[in-house]
Structures are given as C-alpha cells and as structure tokens.
Amino acid sequence: MKRQFSDYLTTYFKTSDLARAAGVHENTVRRYVDWGLLPPVERAPNGYRRFTKRHLECLRLDRLVMEGSYPGKSIHRSGAEIIQSAVLDDWGGALEQAYQHLATVKSEQAQADAAVELLERWVNGRHADMTGRSMRIGEVAKLLGVSNDVLRNWERNGLLDVPRQESNTYRLYGQQEISRLRVIRMLVNAGYSLMAILRMVLQLDRGEPPNLRQALDTPQPDEDVYMASDRWLSTLRYEEDRARKIIDYIEAVIQDRAG
C-alpha cells in the first residue's frame, strides 16, 4: 500500500530521540531549530517539542551538508540553499539545488586546474606576460587589477623578490616579476592560499624538480594548523564526493516519500 504523507506526522520524537537517530548531541538539534535549519516544531501539551520524520530527514541532510566547513562563499551559499528548500519541504527543489551545487564545485575545480596549467606552462619557460619595460608598483597594480598593498603583501610573504632602483630604492618590476605575479594572482583567484603558493614557489626557487600539484596540495609537517585552501585540490575532490552523497540522500528521501 502506498504510504501517505500524513504517516510522517503521526510518529513523534523527543529531542533526545531525534538527536540519537541522527547521531548528534541534543544541543545541536536545539541550535538547528533556532537557526532555521529544521522546520518549525510543534509542542506537546506538556511543553516538550514534538519532532516528526520530516525533521529527522532535514536533520540528516543538515549534517551531510554542514559537516566540517565549506570552503569559499559560493560553495557555502549553495549548500545553504539546499537546506532551505528541504526546510520548506520542497525536496524537488532541494534536488535541483543539489545538482547546481555539484556544478558549483566542479566549476571551482575547473578554475583550480586551469590555474595550475598556467603555472606549469610558465615553469616550463612560457612567458605569462610580454611587458617590454620595467614598471613601478602603482603601474603594476593597475595592470593586474590589484592594490599596491596586495603586491606588497605577496612580497612580504615571500612569493617573489622585487629588485629596487639603486637611486631611490623604488620597486622596479620587469617582465620576469610581472609574469610571476600573473601566475600568483590566478592561483589566488582560483582559491589557493598564500601558504600553498609559498610552499610551491620555495620549491621552485630552490631548483628542485617541480611536482607543482603536489607542492600546492601537501602541507609540510611544520604547518600544524592549516586551512582548506592550503590543500585546495584535495578539498575540492572531497567536496565533489560530498555533493554526490547529498544528491543520493535527497533522491532516497523522495523515493521513500513516494512509497
């Protein structure tokens, strides 16, 4: 017999029951209610919250979407939109958002890979710029669409060493420095952290045989605290796997509801 949706509303869970079913702490359930990550909850005559199967479905989706921390605003925002559709009980919309979420992750992966391809071509002797004259910092900042402070910050963090004029110690950027800056900017825009880029350029400047992807993606032992962007390629592979699990879960909920 086909299950009626009303069946989902006839079995109630206490906060402790719901937390146990989803494998979380009771306080997590309370916070999710307060944050709007679960549907509104009715209360029994004794004042206790009465959760239903619908809340359990959303809670399990919340954990799948929110476990760990999403890297970057676009991926985080995309995950939040999936949850909001489910909270509104629009699981078809949640499924659509989940596929869009997967596309967002794959777009980030494509950008990250493209940045590495430019890096590899530059390392193999292909120029990344054809500037024919030396420039001062303000000119380079305008050329690259960044601020003077950004260029100084990259230099302070060891990403490049800029020669200076002997007469006035002004920085003077030649074709080599500008090419390097274009590569750095693309890596930064693609999501790689300054630590990951520094790890790579130090290896490059030491003249070691470059395994650029590995250098960008492998924190050193002394990097005891690191961010997702310090191993960006691995992070995005994990996010793709998570996106597919989200899709599988939502499809299972829809199938279960259909009876």
What average pLDDT values come out for the chain (259 residues) when binned by 10 residues?
A: 51 93 95 96 91 96 86 89 97 98 96 94 85 90 96 95 81 91 96 94 84 90 81 94 97 92
Query: Quick check: is 178 in a domain?
Result: no
Whichever domain contains 60, its CATH number is 1.10.1660.10
d(CA 66, CA 204): 37
Q: Tell me whether residue 173 is in a domain.
A: no
Angle at the Cα of 106 from the Cα atoms of 252 and 84, rounded to 5 degrees = 45
Within 13 Å and on the Cβ side, how many CA atoms surround 9? 8
| Number of domains composing the chain | 1
In a domain, 94, yes or no: no
Q: In this structure, is residue 136 part of a structural domain?
A: no
- For residues 171 and 162, the answer to whether their CB atoms sit within 8 Å is yes
Note whether residue 53 is domain-resident: yes
Per-residue b/e over 199-226, b at no fewer than 16 CB within 10 Å? bbbebbeeeeebebeebbbbbeeeeeee
Rounded to whole angstroms, the maximal C-alpha distance in the chain is 89
Look up residue 120 and give its amino acid: E
For residue 135, list its beta bridge partners: 173
**pLDDT reported for residue 259:** 75
By the 8 A CB rule, do 177 and 162 touch? yes
Inside any domain, residue 227? no
- Assigned domain for 30 exists: yes
pLDDT at 8: 54
Taking CA atoms, 123 is separated from 73, 128, 133, in Å, by: 31, 10, 22
Expressed as residue numbers, the domain containing 15 is 1-67
- Is residue 142 within 8 Å of residue 192, measured between CB atoms? no
Is 74 inside any structural domain?
Answer: no
